[in-house]
Structure 1
Amino acid sequence: MNILEKYYLQGKGKIILGTFALIVLFIISTVMFTGCFSSNQKNDNENTVTVFNYGDYIDVNVLKTFEKETGIQVKYEEYVTPEDMYTKYKSGVINYDVICTSDYMVEKMMQEGEVQKIDTSSMEYYKNIDKKYLDFCKVFDPTNEYAVPYLWGTVGILYNTKVVKEKVDSWSILWNKKYDDQIIMQNSMRDAFMVPLKWKGLSLNTTNPKELVQAQSLLLKQKPIVEAYLVDEARDAMVSGDASMAVIYSGDATVAMEENEDLDYVVPKEGSNVWFDCFLIPKTAEHKEAAEKFIDYMSRQDIAQKNFDYIYYGTPNKAVYDALDDETKEDYTIFPEEATLNKCEVYKYLGEKTDQYYNRLWKELKSY
């Protein structure tokens, strides 16, 4: 039984490989916190807010508290990748009021006129967002008018120190045949291509076709020794010892290291991606006032603290950060040093032409 079959049979999350991802996404009902939608149902209840977020990316108790405090019903749906979210959003089946998504997707939707300005002046808790993270977000939201940061982190290598005895400080180790069938790569187009791009000293935001083909060639060369392309399941596979190395998000690495003391995490010396997931209000939102109340509520210190405790990704909430103990503040998996961040880049939307080219290269890689 291979790792994909194992995690499918154990029900350990969403197995997403190639076109199977899209089939699962549209055939299986998406997860809803309260309420549900029929195939053509719009959000017509005035006292609701419909939220679209990454899977397992919020403490559901804060949704219950929001409903209790405001009387606004939360309809909550999850997705796997930004591309999945965009496809579902553009289908127009559901008019979402709040979407949480990643930096480059925020920028893409802004450029397409799919996002409304957020009235942060009316928000009581927006002041909790640290200015340095708002400055980071200006890479994709230059005026800080369209997106409110929720969580942030890095992408790096999680590895088993009992198996990997050599020093792990470069992306190059993911091409070492010694670890044949022990390596997990991210099943996310930009994150997968980021690895060879940064390894070879190139920008993760390159639009140069030759550089993208070079990255694809390296991924094609690597693919025979890759055990699987996963997202959330990578953490479980590393904890259980089913893999020795995984390209993984920093928050997942933190949780995995707590569950398995043999694991360690590193952002390679060549640099990586520092990402920001933000709340936005799409142009099709039917309950903008409720959406702004929800986003403001998520920036409240006690609520942001609960989400930090649940997810363990970096928080942009200064009120939460200032209240953390020194040990947590010095956990460089969650809050990396400035020297590490200086080598990292924020994803930008690369334009429709490059997006299409990327998709073609990705499909070729996955079908190889």
Structure 2
Amino acid sequence: MRATARKTISRRSVLRGMGGAGAAALLAGCGVPAAYVEPGERAGRDLSARDRTLDFANWPLYIDTDDDDTSKRPTLDAFSERTGISVRYSEEINDNDEFFGKISPALMNHQETGRDLIVVSDWMAARFVRLGWVQEMDRAAQPNITRYLDPQLRSPAFDEGRLHTVPWQSGITGIAYNRRKLGREIRSVKELWDDDLRGKITLLSGLDESFALLLQGNGVDVTRWTADDFHAVCEQIEGLVRKRHIRRFTGNDYIKDLSTGDVLACQAYSGDVIQLQADNPDIEFVVPEEGAELWAESLMIPNLAQHKANAEKLIDYYYDPEVAAELAAWVNYVCPVPAARDVLADSDDEELAALAEDPLIFPDDEMRGRLAIARDITSEERTEFAKRWNSIVGL
């Protein structure tokens, strides 16, 4: 295992879209219902036994690459050598809604997508699960997942028991700030609204990326938030925008604003801050006193996938703690395999050993006590909520 250079672009922070409304809302607006697929109609003919291949669609910058040859992916190459399964790996997912729009016509029409394994954010995974567009996995063939999956990620509301999804990587949406330029600490979401931060903070523009932390700042239990809770936050943020307290809403460009000092505090992803701290140790990441959102981006096997068993084998391979540790050392998000921490801690490489002590990769018990997985926005809520949120972002 080896240490790697920090990447200059974050995978998580390239999320774009229309506050999560996306393709599903467009389909509904055109009078085209998103077709539910019954459980008995989801499995295709599995060719895994005789066709030792696999099509895996992922996000850019979300797997380890060789320092000298970025076309080589050490953990993926090792899987092929170990199993004889050749993986056709593509980095075609740049936006949850865009990817949904790309493959939804096939899925709603009971057609094969050409992909055996995909990775999307859990709020989008919830949509796939509810529509019946992904297959239940055979956990008997996945002993590593059964043994090593982070208990805090085992049973999200949208996929009880994690039968249809498995986290690829996880992360935290919290607060980042420049301690030296601000001249004080931030420990609470409420502190973002202090007078000395007027015009110097940013929030995330995406509805699904932003709302949970803001709810938590108001003391709401995000595992069971209500429409009233959401609209109360919207009224609060709308008032702050009109007072010019919030500088703007951002995607990944908050990274630049925070680095240059144009912004002193912002909503941020834990993985981004690890990268920023390598160049600027004054940047701090905070899981607020009120709590922060623990999210995941998950692997799923679409309906009619032709290599389901091969896909299940690859997923379980990445839950081997040795493999999970190698991936975690490269991507720097919260590792969904806590046992990988011991692997890194035993490394002779000081940089790798230090990663084992980083709570943004392996949260300690105190931090975990303040993390929660938010219930996702339902299909009935989404159009109304996206319209309300986007009207505020556009002010």
TM-based fold match above 0.5: yes
TM-score (norm 2): 0.73
Cα distance, 1:266 vs. partner? 0.7
Cα distance, 1:268 vs. partner? 0.9
Q: Structure 1 residue 148 and structure 2 residue 161: aligned? A: no
Partner of 1:199 in structure 2? 217
Cα distance, 1:366 vs. partner? 2.6
| Structure 2 counterpart of 1:79, from 88, 93, 97 | 93
Percent same amino acid at aligned positions?
Answer: 22
The alignment partner of 1:90 has SS state of helix
Q: In 2, distance between residues paired with 1:195 and 1:144?
A: 24
Cα distance, 1:332 vs. partner? 2.6
The alignment partner of 1:153 has SS state of strand
Q: Which amino acid aligns with 2:151?
A: K
Partner of 1:258 in structure 2? 278
CA deviation string 1:262-315 (max 9, x = no partner): 111111111121122221112242321232232123223343222201111221
Q: Structure 1 residue 164 and structure 2 residue 189: aligned? A: no
In structure 2, relative to structure 1, the CA distance for the partners of 1:17 and 1:230 (3 Å cut) is farther
| Structure 1 counterpart of 2:62, from 57, 62, 65 | 57
Q: Structure 1 residue 219 and structure 2 residue 237: aligned? A: yes
Q: Which amino acid aligns with 2:187?
A: D
Partner of 1:332 in structure 2? 359
Task: Indicate conservation of the 8 Å contact 2:170/2:295, yes or no.
Answer: yes
In structure 2, relative to structure 1, the CA distance for the partners of 1:232 and 1:156 (3 Å cut) is same
Q: Structure 1 residue 365 and structure 2 residue 392: aligned? A: yes
The alignment partner of 1:293 has SS state of helix
In structure 2, relative to structure 1, the CA distance for the partners of 1:81 and 1:345 (3 Å cut) is farther
The runs of 5 or more residues in structure 1 that have no matched partner are 1-6, 24-43
TM-score (norm 1): 0.78
The alignment partner of 2:91 has SS state of strand
Q: In 2, distance between residues paired with 1:96 and 1:260?
A: 40
Q: Which amino acid aligns with 1:243?
A: V
Partner of 1:96 in structure 2? 115
In structure 2, relative to structure 1, the CA distance for the partners of 1:15 and 1:349 (3 Å cut) is closer
Q: Which amino acid aligns with 1:209?
A: A
Q: Which amino acid aligns with 2:179?
A: T
Q: Which amino acid aligns with 2:283?
A: L
Q: Structure 1 residue 123 and structure 2 residue 142: aligned? A: yes
Q: In 2, distance between residues paired with 1:160 and 1:244?
A: 5
The alignment partner of 1:114 has SS state of coil
Task: Indicate conservation of the 8 Å contact 2:15/2:96, yes or no.
Answer: no
The runs of 5 or more residues in structure 2 that have no matched partner are 1-7, 24-46, 66-72, 108-112, 346-352
Q: Which amino acid aligns with 2:202?
A: I
Q: Structure 1 residue 356 and structure 2 residue 383: aligned? A: yes
| Structure 2 counterpart of 1:239, from 259, 280, 283 | 259
Cα distance, 1:231 vs. partner? 3.6
